[in-house]
Chain A
């Protein structure tokens, strides 16, 4: 039963509380009893394949959609019974970071501040601070329609944080960015997460792996896993990373490194090199970064960025994601099989 009239914090620590929410689109049951909680200061990643119910879940958390059953509360404010207070505690960056193209970046953020109820006398300072924090002050007078996608993303983010919300919800914040923009967006999100509760919805595992402390995997409208992001022993620690255009040939072979490639769209690829051995013994000759760079260019590839990965967290998430989804599919097939066998048995009787 819904706790009508409750508007105070349910738990001091729980900034996002989602309790068994459901959502139907016609006959399609898109979200089936999703529950999750995000504590103060935590960065949670919401992962799932396309059509898993991530966007519906995140829209219900942001107050854009209402759950058909269950409840969501933001900073202790129920989105159904105290929607304005809940939305005031939240900064939301929708997928594709929509902005008003005819407005300048500054006007847009000013408008967001006015909508969020920032007092007039504080508005200018808050807007300047948000623009500064998102590193878009240099384009503040430019029309947002003329900005690159990376800048538009940051302007939209400035609009989401201008009223100083304690909770930030980001839907695919790095979607469609080129490697340089991706890197900037990643560091900006990590910086914003220092003093906020952040929920990031993404299908880019690397992003979630680097930024989030915990990950919730959604599939078929249900929570399939809720795990902390951690380094898995023996999985190999990434020591080198490159962005560029891959050349001709099969798998990239680099002595002493296990290399994984991730296509980023528009011909760009991310190359991640992990040590083959986990004992930390130095390999003779060139460094890992140099070997990775040389291997890419020697097969006709083009390098845009080559770097060490001091913030490496390990390659555990991809295996977790795949195994969770596979087991969910197997479970569903088994259940269907059991139903089929049961029906066959009933038919034969």
Chain B
């Protein structure tokens, strides 16, 4: 068991260390805290405004879609550019362990970033009367983490496919935008059976459900499965790179 988990922890700890050793990791978290804090103060802390965090989750969705790929874009493309990928590939670690370790590092970073929203929630609780409903707050936080998981895993896949970090970032963001369009807008213009099929893969509709305080295990399973699929594809790409 230790030999299975060991390389995952080693890869993840190094990536996480790199994110926090460089100023960029702290800057990203600080920017996220400032932007979401500003939205909280405008949307929820003014007199007469509702004691909810819906506005904060709205802007967080956008930020997670941008920050998730920004965090993961360097995971493999940077290793290829600097040549350290040879060290990784010659170590006694399986491709899935490398992929999982990097994904886990990205997810932990996103979780650390989202943890500032606990402070926002505490502030909201301190100043609001009546007290905010904790169901939507908890569900919203979970939805942000699940969305972050998908963004990080997709960014990791893009990073495995190209040596250019810029290309990996743009590829991931555009894929996410395309995904939203295909599953939210296109269904209105195609036959019902196809529209329903496309809409069933919608991320934004699931996020909306979470924002209403509904934690559907089917939605959770969807995000976990999609993230797992992307991480598995990363391990396939690494294996193919040994061969191609």
Q: Does B10 contact A (CB under 8 A)?
A: yes
B90 and A62 contacting across the interface, CB-CB below 8 Å: yes
> Is residue B18 within 8 Å, beta carbon to beta carbon, of the partner chain?
yes
Would you call A84 an interface residue if the criterion is a C-beta within 8 Å of the partner chain's C-beta atoms? yes
Within 8 A of B (CB), among A202-234: none
Selecting from A9-17, A85-93, A258-266, A318-326, the interface stretch reads A85-93
Q: Which residues of B contact A100 (CB under 8 A)?
A: 14, 18, 84
Given A100-B14, A114-B6, is A88 in contact with B92 using a C-beta cutoff of 8 Å? yes
- At the interface, yes or no: A98 with Cβ under 8 Å from chain B? yes
**SS class, residues of chain B in contact with chain A:** helix
Contact with B along A104-135 (1 / 0, CB 8 A): 00010001101111000000000000000000
A160 to B154, CA, bound (A): 32
Query: A294–B89 Cα gap in the complex (Å)?
Result: 50
B9 lies within 8 A of chain A by Cβ: yes
Selected interface stretch from A63-71, A175-183, A191-199, A236-244: A63-71
| Chain A residue nearest in CB terms to B9 | A114
B129 within 8 A of A: no
Is the pair B92, A84 in contact by a Cβ cutoff of 8 Å?
Answer: yes
Say yes or no: B14 contacts A111, CB within 8 Å: yes
Per the bound structure, the CA–CA distance linking A55 and B218 in Å amounts to: 49
CB-CB nearest in chain A for B83: A98
Q: Once the chains are docked, how many angstroms separate the CA of A59 from the CA of B86?
A: 9
Q: A217 to chain B: closest CB distance in Å?
A: 24
Nearest chain B CB to A25 CB, angstrom units? 9
Select from chain B the residue with minimum beta-carbon distance to A102: B21
Asked if A102 and B242 make an inter-chain contact with CB atoms under 8 angstroms apart, the answer reads no
When distances are taken between beta carbons in the complex, the residues of chain B under 8 Å from A88 are 92
- Whether, in the assembled complex, A315 has its beta carbon less than 8 Å from a beta carbon of chain B, the answer is no
Contact of B242 (CB < 8 Å), options: A65, A95, A99, A114: A65
**Is A103 in contact with chain B by the CB < 8 A criterion?**
yes
Q: Give bound CA distance, A116 to B89, whole Å.
A: 11
Q: A94 near B: Cβ within 8 Å?
A: yes
Give which listed residue, A96, A107, A111, contacts B83 with CB less than 8 A: A96
B87 touches A112 (CB 8 A): yes
B25, chain A: closest CB distance, angstroms: 11
The reply to whether A117 and B242 contact each other, CB–CB distance below 8 Å, is no
Q: Which of A63, A68, A112 has a CB less than 8 Å from the CB of B89? A: A63
Known: A98-B82, A111-B10, A115-B7. A87 touches B87 (CB 8 A): no
- A103–B14 Cα distance when bound, in Å, is 9
Most buried by A among B9, B11, B93: B93
B79-101: contact bitstring with A at CB < 8 Å (1 yes, 0 no)? 00011101111111110000000
Please pick, from A59, A65, A84, A102, the residue contacting B18 in the complex, using a CB distance under 8 A. A102
**B17 proximal to A (CB < 8 A):** yes
In the docked arrangement, what's the CA distance between A211 and B226, Å? 53
How does the 8 Å CB contact mask read for B1-32 relative to A, with 1 for contact and 0 for none? 00100110111011001100110000000000
- The answer to the question of B243 belonging to the interface, with a C-beta cut-off of 8 Å to chain A, is yes
Number of interface residues of A (CB under 8 A): 30
The A-contacting residues of B in range 25-72, CB under 8 angstroms, are none
Give Cα distance in the complex from A281 to B83, angstroms: 52
Question: Knowing A111-B14, A117-B92 touch, does A92 contact B7 (C-beta < 8 A)?
Answer: no
Q: How far is the CA of A94 from the CA of B87 in the complex (A)?
A: 7
Q: Does A166 contact B (CB under 8 A)?
A: no
A116 to B7 alpha-carbon distance, docked (Å):
8
Complex contacts, B3 vs chain A, CB 8 Å: 117
| A314 CB within 8 Å of chain B | no
Task: Report the separation of the CA atoms of residues A268 and B89 in the bound assembly, to the nearest whole angstrom.
Answer: 35
How far in angstroms is the closest Cβ of chain B from A273? 37
Given contacts A98-B86, A111-B14, contact A66 B92 (CB under 8 A): no
Distance between Cα atoms of A107 and B21 in the complex (Å): 12
Contact of B86 among A92, A101, A102, A107 (CB under 8 A): A92
Residue of B nearest to A88 (CB): B92
Q: By the criterion CB–CB under 8 Å, are B90 and A92 in contact?
A: yes
Which of A64, A88, A159 has the largest count of B CB atoms less than 10 A from its CB?
A64
Interface residues of B (CB under 8 A from A): 3, 6-7, 9-11, 13-14, 17-18, 21-22, 82-84, 86-94, 242-243
A-B residue pairs in contact (CB < 8 Å), sample of 23: A59-B86, A62-B86, A62-B90, A63-B242, A64-B242, A65-B242, A65-B243, A68-B243, A94-B90, A98-B82, A98-B84, A100-B18, A101-B82, A107-B17, A111-B13, A111-B14, A112-B87, A112-B91, A115-B7, A115-B88, A116-B91, A117-B7, A159-B87
Chain A residues at the B interface, C-beta cutoff of 8 Å: 59, 62-66, 68, 84-85, 87-88, 90, 92, 94-96, 98-103, 107, 111-112, 114-117, 159
